[in-house]
Copies of this chain bind each other. A is one copy, B any other.
Amino acid sequence: MLSLLSLRKQIDAGSLTPREAIALSTAAIAEHEPEIQALVSRNPVPFVAEQGPLAGIAVGVKDILDTADLPTQMGSPIYEGWRPRADAAAVARLRRLGAVPLAKTTTTAFAFLDPTQTRNPRHPGHTPGGSSAGSAAAVSAGMLPLALGTQTGGSVIRPAAYCGVVGMKPSFGLLPTVGMKCFSWTLDTLGLFTAGVADAALALAQMTGRPGIDLPTTNPGTPRIGVVLQDFCADAEPEALDALERVRAAAEAIGSRVCDVVLPAVFAEAFGFHGTIQDFEAAQALNWEYATHRANLGPLLRAHLDDAQNVSPNSYDASLKVAGRARRQLPDQFAEHDLDVILTLSAPGPAPEGYASTGDSRFNRLWTLMGVPCVTVPVGSTPTGLPLGVQVIARHGDDARALKAAHCVETLMREQNH
């Protein structure tokens, strides 16, 4: 994979030019894209800035994010050939930092569940996950050092875990969603895909203008970890649970305090209401598409929006209330158990076989609803070579701590796998 941090170090040292860095991506795309099919469109002659903290960094942009120089097609024939006038706010920011939005990456239609044609670079025959399929696969295949995705349920963390890359869903509100096709304004969160945690930390620090988000140069210490198994949803697969236990053992071995945390009932309740909030808002957000192009929606989305028309304002209000209660109580959980981070699964198991499903977001939805920063870290593979990930979660606004602990986990598991 292409490491953003490593590219930037070479550029800063003068051993690589921004143009050469972009050429690495172009070459990797030529080699892998025919098989992986992670890209929808790309800029054949991109402007390459010579200066800027992200100069030389080729970026993949999920195709529900507006770009002024490339079509934005939402993974849907309804937006075939669609050309926005402006860049999404996050894309404009990346350009100002010197990065090169080189390609648009595949997305399930409107970031819902109807699969894309994208292949999992780590294991042919298995889904790359969704909805940010192309962003996860492009980074995994070494085509791009950075890609933007979005998460409403589990659309960043899940595909990142399935494809063996780092996925970061920052705190709700940290990255602007302006110029992103909305599905649910309470949930939609912009996120990043990178080769490693340090790459994500550098990118997020630059994109937000918050240097404190980047990894500390000093010893990161040993995070205090609370393991959450989400007993309120269906069991995970043994391979995913094994990976979690390996991380637990490795953290304990370096002196981390690791405890089990069973969340109070309000979190189970909030988890159950994620769909109500999402669907009530999606029915409004996609009102035009549903009213005028229902036949051209993906079959899963069409059926889902059919049902979503019937979610009542009262259920929505009640769900928002529970979610608000859970959000207010979550910091207490960190305080009560004296935690830096929560550790849980990134997905119920490795990427499912086949391309009919993009997998399951049940280990992601609660955290999206809570608006807290989540990082998935690759922690090895199943015996058949399917990547596994674990998810590191911090308090809202504490993205730096989530990344620092994720980096610790990453380091431990890399050592273990060597």
Which residue numbers of A lie inside 8 Å of B, CB to CB?
Answer: 68, 78-79, 82, 85-89, 91-93, 95-96, 173, 176-179, 182, 185, 208-210, 281, 284-285, 287-289, 291-292, 312-313, 317, 397
Contact = CB atoms under 8 A, between A and B. Distances in A.
Given A178-B185, A291-B96, A397-B317, A284 B89 contact: yes
B285 A89 contact: yes
Given A89-B285, A92-B287, A208-B313, 10 more contacts: A68-B292, A78-B85, A79-B85, A86-B288, A86-B289, A89-B288, A92-B288, A95-B291, A173-B185, A209-B313
Q: How many copies of the polypeptide does the oligomer hold?
A: 2
A79 B95 CA distance: 20
B397 A68 contact: no
Contacts of A92: 287-288, 291
Contact of A284 (B79, B178, B185, B281): B178
A103 to B, nearest CB: 19
A68 B78 CA distance: 13
A310 to B, nearest CB: 11
Nearest to A186: B173
A288 B68 contact: yes
Q: Which of A82, A177, A185 has the most CB of B within 10 A?
A: A185
A96 B288 CA distance: 9
Contacts of A68: 288, 292
